Amino acid sequence: MSHPLDLNRRICIAPMMGWTNRHNRYFHRQLTRHAMTYAEMLAPEAIVRGNKQRWLRYSEGEHPVAFQLGGNDPKMLAAAARELERVGFDEINFNVGCPSKKGKSNPFGAHLIRHPQVVKACMQAMIEAVEIPVTIKTRLGVDEQESYDHLAEFVGLVKESGCRVFIVHARKAWLDGLSTRQNREVPPLRYDYVYRLKREFPELSVVLNGGVTEWDQAQAHLEHVDGVMVGRRAYKEPFWLAEVDRLFFQATEPDPSPPEVMRRCLPYVEAELAGGTPLREIVRHMVGLYRAAPAASAFRRHLAIEGHAKGAGTNVYLEAIRIAERLSRPGRAIIGRL
Ligand SMILES: Cc1cc2nc3c(=O)[nH]c(=O)nc-3n(C[C@H](O)[C@H](O)[C@H](O)COP(=O)(O)O)c2cc1C
């Protein structure tokens, strides 16, 4: 199923706090040219009043990239959105799914599901402030509010803001009782709710998220929705992403090999090292390139030990490429997640 708004969101890489930072997004971009990537959530105040240089930094090589905001103040969100558009982000995504306990007193994230008018006002303010798409990432519901009708009511109201793209983590958040982590596992996945949402709101672009760990599952979901967002598996086993362009975006080039991906990152690594970024900040995201291959422990060990040493430089990175080349040589046949 295709939708004009959705062409570049067929496969999305989820925002993950502490994980999908700029180094990881650049690395992922060497595995897939087309999947949309999402930056981790940030409060708009950090952009409007904080250290812009720090928070807005990204690389041209990351596009297409969305920035995720979490908050509840329409004016502040609109001001942050303008800044994000100015520096070149491709999309702004509003977080209405984070189950953090901190959102209880001053609601943000999933807590806002109980305040659909606030969500609508926030979305409207951002949509009026910028030309780039403003999308939402939400859940099926919260606590006892878990029926499809509640979800449809929420979406029906929020869509009045002009929002046309709904990314839905297909489980509710259980705010009273579960930790943030448990909230990614325990509430059951209800893909049928997300499919029904697309059926009943065909004018919207609906992206399904949660529990997708195989590309054939994503293909099956795409029979019902416009896009699929993947999170944990993409981070823990990044080489999984190497197939995306061929499977979902009609790319005809062969999938990149792990050493090829490492080589593609070399100019970035050199530039970052020259700018003072410690090597460990970059390579910590690469350790999973050969995640499940036991013979690749040398690669993992090298990145985890040498790559994390104080003052580690280009030589350490070049050695990691050499190890990756040895592992990927025909006959060794250790590629990615084998
Ligand atoms: C470490 C971690 C951090 C996360 N941070 C965010 C975040 O900042 N914003 C957000 O909307 N979702 C966040 N999530 C949720 C993911 O975006 C996604 O909805 C969830 O992991 C389900 O997808 P998956 O089953 O493919 O991993 C986070 C998930 C993880 C594992």
Label the pairing between strands 65-69 and 91-96.
parallel
- 330: exposed, middle or buried (Cβ count in 10 Å: 0-12, 13-18, 19+): exposed
Condensed to tens digits (0 to 9), the pLDDT of residues 15-74 reads 999 999 999 999 999 999 999 999 999 999 999 998 888 899 999 999 999 999 999 999
| pTM for this predicted structure | 0.95
Condensed to tens digits (0 to 9), the pLDDT of residues 65-88 reads 999 999 999 999 999 999 999 999
**List of residues 6+ apart from 90 with CB closer than 8 A:** 36, 63, 64, 65, 66, 132, 133
Condensed to tens digits (0 to 9), the pLDDT of residues 234-278 reads 999 999 999 999 999 999 999 999 999 999 999 999 999 999 999
Site to probe by mutation for ligand 1, drawn from 16, 67, 165 as the one with most ligand atoms within 8 Å of Cβ, is 16
What is the average per-residue pLDDT within 307-331? 90
CA of 262 to the centre of ligand 1 (A): 25
Q: Which atom of ligand 1 is nearest to the CA of 41?
A: 8
Enumerate domains of the chain plus CATH numbers: 4-248 (3.20.20.70), 258-328 (1.20.120.1460)
Q: Which residue has the higher pLDDT, 265 or 294?
A: 265
Condensed to tens digits (0 to 9), the pLDDT of residues 208-227 reads 999 999 999 999 999 999 99
Structure tokens at 69: 């905001």
Q: CA-CA-CA-CA torsion for 155, 137, 144, 151, nearest 10 degrees? A: 20
Strand boundaries in 216-263, DSSP class E = 227-230
pLDDT for residue 4 is more than 60: no
pLDDT for residue 332 is more than 60: no
Longest dimension (CA), the chain: 60
Residue 110 to residue 99: CA distance in whole angstroms: 5
Question: Cα–Cα distances in Å, from 276 out to 39, 141, 156, 205?
Answer: 22, 44, 48, 41
CA dihedral over 166, 169, 170, 172, signed as positive or negative: negative
CA of 284 to the centre of ligand 1 (A): 18
- Which residue of the set 12, 98, 163, 265 is catalytic? 98
User: Catalytic annotation on 98?
Assistant: yes
For residue 2, what pLDDT band results from cuts at 50, 70 and 90? very low
Condensed to tens digits (0 to 9), the pLDDT of residues 95-145 reads 999 998 877 788 999 999 999 999 999 999 999 999 999 999 999 999 999
Q: Which atom of ligand 1 is nearest to the CA of 209?
A: 23
Strand boundaries in 43-174, DSSP class E = 65-69, 91-96, 134-139, 165-169
> Percent of the chain, pLDDT > 90?
87
CA of 319 to the centre of ligand 1 (A): 32
pLDDT at 73: 98
Helix (H) or strand (E) holding 298: helix 297-305
Task: List the one residue out of 243, 231, 113 whose CA is nearest residue 181.
Answer: 231
CA of 274 to the centre of ligand 1 (A): 31
pLDDT at 6: 42
CA of 99 to the centre of ligand 1 (A): 10
Query: Which residues, listed in sequence order, are joined to residue 36 by a DSSP beta bridge?
Result: 12
Condensed to tens digits (0 to 9), the pLDDT of residues 160-201 reads 999 999 999 999 999 988 999 999 999 999 999 999 999 999
| Residue located nearest, by CA, to atom 19 of ligand 1 | 169
| Residue located nearest, by CA, to atom 21 of ligand 1 | 231
Q: What type of residue is 206?
A: V
Cβ pair 282, 23 in contact under 8 A = yes
* Averaged pLDDT of the chain: 93
pLDDT at 336: 52
Q: Which atom of ligand 1 is nearest to the CA of 109?
A: 11
Q: Which atom of ligand 1 is nearest to the CA of 229?
A: 26
Q: Which atom of ligand 1 is nearest to the CA of 15?
A: 17
Question: What is the number of H-type helices and E-type strands within the chain?
Answer: 14, 8
Q: Which residues have any ligand 1 atom within 6 Å of their CB?
A: 14-19, 40-41, 68, 95, 97-98, 137, 169, 184, 209-212, 230-232
CA of 146 to the centre of ligand 1 (A): 20
Residue 69 to residue 79: CA distance in whole angstroms: 11
pLDDT at 335: 52
